[in-house]
Structure 1
Amino acid sequence: MNISKHVFDKQRGYALAFSLLFMLSVQAENTSTSAKLPDTGQSKQYDTKGHVLVPSNTSFYTGQDASVQGNRLRYRDNGDGTITDLNTGLMWQKAHQFKRYTLQAAQKYVENMTLGGYSDWRIPSIKELYSIANFDGQLLKPGDKGESQPYIDTNVFDYTYDKHLPFAGQFWSSTIYVKNAIQNFSQHGGLQGAFGFNFSDGHIKAYETGRYIDGSDIQSSDGMFVPGCFVRAVRGYTPLYQMDYVDNGDKTITDTSTGLMWAKNDSGMPMNWVEALAYADNASLAGYSDWRLPNSKELQSLVDYEKATFPAINTQYFNTTLTTFSSTEDSYYFWSSTTQGDFKWTANYVSFAQAWSKKNAKATQYYDWHGAGAQRSDPKTGSPKDYELASEMASDYISIENWVRLVRDVDSPNQ
């Protein structure tokens, strides 16, 4: 027997095995099998007037977004006009086409993309699009001190404000609003909506796609203005948003795709934001003491956008106190722990039923303007009559007393 050859073959076998394991570990880091829900990126805590708080474990506002460390935003610039999200495994278009499209035109644009040598680009779902949001963003009014910052990491992604309408930074998702028509237009069954995220002002809402509910295209002769949205394309797959639930039999539900454990029941009653933080901090459901108010991305991961009825959550697993959703009195808004950057005296909520708004501050009738699954914001405390959250396009219903669904990390050691 040739001993030296035997030793060489054995060493070569070890080397090949080591190389294979190394390749597999690299692939695992950059594929969906190790996907993690990205953090919101919010780095400061705020009081009810929007002032920055000094971080403190004994703060009256314990549990708000910036006090809880999530999976920090991590990206890799591939040097070919593409960005890889190291949390989700998705690959993104680094820049964006500074042109507004109807949803159908946006789909055609993306289908013809060959960026980075890839031809499988697509429009992201609303959950994928929201994953790259950075809630250290803020859109300042003229005369305010400081500088506006888009709700996206501009050290990684290119971003351009619309110089004429700086607040209009809406980007398409592929998620069609299937529960009803949007706004108050009735022709052809009403307006078809699809969700988008506004990287200029940090909100999710449903936008006019360019079609009616019956599938017909809006014509110029209809007198209907469809502003359109921008596009940032994505490719790849992530398992984060499969909503793969397990009922633990102790009034908790685990989402195995995100690694989050949720309360099966909602809070049973609405409350203001400060009360919501305290409610979460004092919770001891199923023997766990580390419950918290979910941040915006955690909360939005629960939304069932494909469900055709209200509420927009899987009611086979989750219980809801409200069962009727027909007016603003039935608003099913849920608090997040995330402060809204433009109006830091407000905090983000996600609507699990209609997201009510009206044409302007003088109008009296509210409609499902933004869609179930929209993310808006409400004043943290006070009375609705003291506020008016209006823009040139709409005036949101102000609730202030919103609902809570508790969350914790499955792998947390605290009990």
Structure 2
Amino acid sequence: MSFTKLDNNGNDLPDDAEDWLMVRDNVTGLIWEIKQAKDGVQNYENPNDADNTYTWYDTNIANNLGYTGHYNDGKNTQTFIEQLNQKQLGGFNDWRMPSPKELASITDLSKVGKVGQAIDIIFFPASIFEFYWSSTSNPTFTASARKVNFSNGYENIDDKLALYYVRAVRGGQCWSFDSFVINDDHTITDIASGIMWERGTSDASQTWQYAIDYCENLSIAMYTDWRLPEQKELISIVDYSRISPSINSVFVPHTMANEYWSSTKNPLYYGIDFENGLTQVGIDIQNSKFFYVRAVRGGQNRQPGHLFIITPLQSSFWKLGRTMSITWESQNIPGNVTISLSKDGGREGTYEIIAETENDGSYDWQVTGDISVNCMLKIEPLNEPDKGTRQGLFSIYPYTPEKYQQIILRPATTTIAENTPVTITANYSTSDNAKTRGIGVRFHYDTSKLMFMGFHSVSLTPSVIEQTPLDDIGDYDNDPSTDKYLLLQWSSPKMDWPENVMALKLADLNFIPQSSGQGNINISFLEVSYGYVGQSKKCHNHY
């Protein structure tokens, strides 16, 4: 798990920051609301209040499945989200209720047995260790919805009139079922998580320890490194829109509508009931309960004194033709290492050496060869090959030109007399001329050279307009000569921005030169739409 604290403008903060408004999950990319004022007193005028509880209510039939829930005089999940978006928490108005999988993604089951909580309070302070509502209705009884408990990670269903806590999220929906690839060898690869599943299942239910042994002794498709999946890995294949079994359709012919073990214990033992997709959890059930088993493989074991691959990350995507950095922890083992790649899931005899290089923790490799969703990398010290490591699965895919959102400042070069006002225009376009969810732009400048006099002719009503210059502590434009920045952000929950035909003028920036010399007005991006990269052209000034 990896999190980053964010300030009220969405900027990264150090881990030891004492004041932050949001948290980004660096694995899923989701941004989470941080709760406040955990004092046992509810305050519904503040949607961020940790003590507030709400009924489940949603007028969107895609979410409510025909039963809207209970309005509860406005103390409900839909009103909570509306308040948050009206408040524009962090400058955003696309906050929403999370799915059960998204809630589960921030549970930390390793903490349950130690401190009785299933979330990292260093990043998520003011958390209540109780149930939180998800966005998902129960398809078999639509007057109920799913909830997740942050004391132990337990997921269950309850009537929509019940009162539970809430936590909002923003960002693209995770865990698309388009990510499953059926291989030709009775296995299934999930490219979103970088793991390979056994397509079949055990013939009979068994105890937890027998399930562990079953997977470790399994040999399928010439792979022998199978293991019992972790609880979050089991959750990743649940399909909440289906019942009996509640699992993605690629697994349906081979899945019992029954309980399946996970390897997670803390000391609670966990599993999933694929009759309805609910969590199964209990103490000392490893010998008294008999669950079915589906094996999984992939990932990397960290062992003391062994190399450890940092990049490529599991489930990452590397483009053919690009030069990518392979990085690893060298453990100060002397000599060279061999770097080998298998595009067949790490099956024995399929590795090809792509480099022999010094064990200095880094090697730049131009991605070549065939595409594959079953790539596995192996790095071994020549002198101590038993201290090597493997990482996978990740994908290699064809190069396609990146889509971009572009900001161009005009004029590109100016010569300005001291104390003479100048206007710089920011123009916007995209490479594919398509509508997006918006863009967040920082305009950087040197206050010893320029005085900002305000925006003018700002288009399309930004969701955030920051005319008070902000300190460029993070050096977001990678230019130490600039010390302040201004911020404009446009945000739409739908892919319908901008309303106007492109290319278009976003805003005029008015400045007055303060001294002689030269300097830049630079662009950096607070946020670009999913699937796009940001491109910019700066303005260079002579004073």
TM over 0.5: yes
What's the counterpart of residue 352 of structure 2? none
Residue type at the aligned position of 1:93: E
Cα deviation 1:329-369 (Å, max 9, x = unaligned): xxx01101101x4xx1x41011100xxxxxxxxxxxxxxxx
**Residue 338 of structure 1, aligned match among 264, 282, 303:** 264
What's the counterpart of residue 2 of structure 2? 74
SS of 1:319 mapped into structure 2? helix
Pick closer, same or farther for the CA change 1:313–1:243 going to 2, 3 Å: farther
Deviates most, 121-130 or 191-200? 191-200
* 1:154 equivalent in alignment to 2:121: yes
Cα deviation 1:80-106 (Å, max 9, x = unaligned): 311111111110012153111111111
What's the counterpart of residue 370 of structure 2? none
Distance in 2 between residues matched to 1:300 and 1:321, nearest whole Å: 14
Q: CA deviation at 1:247?
A: 1.3
Cα deviation 1:137-181 (Å, max 9, x = unaligned): 337xxxxxxx734201111011344xxxxxx61011101111x22
**Contact 1:127–1:241 (Cα < 8 Å) also in 2:** no
* 1:289-300 equivalences in 2 (<5 Å): 289-300=224-235
Q: CA deviation at 1:315?
A: 3.7
**Contact 1:83–1:156 (Cα < 8 Å) also in 2:** yes
Distance in 1 between residues matched to 2:153 and 2:186, nearest whole Å: 33
**Contact 2:245–2:255 (Cα < 8 Å) also in 1:** no
* 1:356-395 equivalences in 2 (<5 Å): 372-378=276-282, 379-383=284-288
* 1:201 equivalent in alignment to 2:175: no
Q: CA deviation at 1:261?
A: 1.0
**Residue 29 of structure 2, aligned match among 89, 93, 96:** 89
Pick closer, same or farther for the CA change 1:247–1:337 going to 2, 3 Å: same
* 1:128 equivalent in alignment to 2:121: no
What's the counterpart of residue 177 of structure 1? 138
Residue type at the aligned position of 1:112: Q
Q: Give the alignment's TM-score, normalised by structure 2.
A: 0.45
SS of 2:109 mapped into structure 1? coil
**Residue 249 of structure 1, aligned match among 184, 197, 200:** 184
**Residue 319 of structure 1, aligned match among 227, 250, 253:** 253
* Unpaired runs of at least 5, structure 2: 9-20, 36-47, 58-75, 299-373, 378-389, 393-543
Residue type at the aligned position of 2:195: L
What's the counterpart of residue 111 of structure 2? 137
**Residue 98 of structure 1, aligned match among 51, 60, 66:** 51
Q: CA deviation at 1:290?
A: 1.2
* 1:108 equivalent in alignment to 2:79: yes
**Contact 2:144–2:157 (Cα < 8 Å) also in 1:** yes
**Residue 350 of structure 1, aligned match among 244, 256, 272:** 272
What's the counterpart of residue 406 of structure 1? 295
Q: CA deviation at 1:260?
A: 1.6
Q: CA deviation at 1:317?
A: 4.1
Q: Which has the larger radius of gyration?
A: 2
Pick closer, same or farther for the CA change 1:148–1:321 going to 2, 3 Å: closer
Q: CA deviation at 1:76?
A: 0.7
**Contact 1:294–1:337 (Cα < 8 Å) also in 2:** yes
Residue type at the aligned position of 2:274: F
Distance in 1 between residues matched to 2:252 and 2:187, nearest whole Å: 9
SS of 1:292 mapped into structure 2? coil
What's the counterpart of residue 283 of structure 1? 218
Q: CA deviation at 1:239?
A: 4.2
* 1:264 equivalent in alignment to 2:199: yes
What's the counterpart of residue 390 of structure 1? none
**Contact 2:131–2:164 (Cα < 8 Å) also in 1:** yes
What's the counterpart of residue 143 of structure 2? 192
* 1:212-223 equivalences in 2 (<5 Å): none
SS of 2:157 mapped into structure 1? strand
Distance in 2 between residues matched to 1:403 and 1:297, nearest whole Å: 17
SS of 2:165 mapped into structure 1? strand
**Contact 2:234–2:272 (Cα < 8 Å) also in 1:** yes
**Contact 1:266–1:319 (Cα < 8 Å) also in 2:** no
Q: CA deviation at 1:111?
A: 2.1
What's the counterpart of residue 524 of structure 2? none
SS of 1:279 mapped into structure 2? helix
Distance in 2 between residues matched to 1:129 and 1:77, nearest whole Å: 18
**Contact 1:246–1:255 (Cα < 8 Å) also in 2:** yes
Q: CA deviation at 1:412?
A: 4.3
Q: CA deviation at 1:196?
A: 1.3
Distance in 2 between residues matched to 1:296 and 1:243, nearest whole Å: 21
Residue type at the aligned position of 2:208: W
Q: What value does the CA root-mean-square deviation take over the aligned residues?
A: 2.1
Structure having greater relative contact order (Cα 8 Å, sep ≥ 6): 1
Larger helix fraction of residues: 1
Q: Give the alignment's TM-score, normalised by structure 1.
A: 0.58
SS of 1:100 mapped into structure 2? coil
Distance in 1 between residues matched to 2:108 and 2:178, nearest whole Å: 23
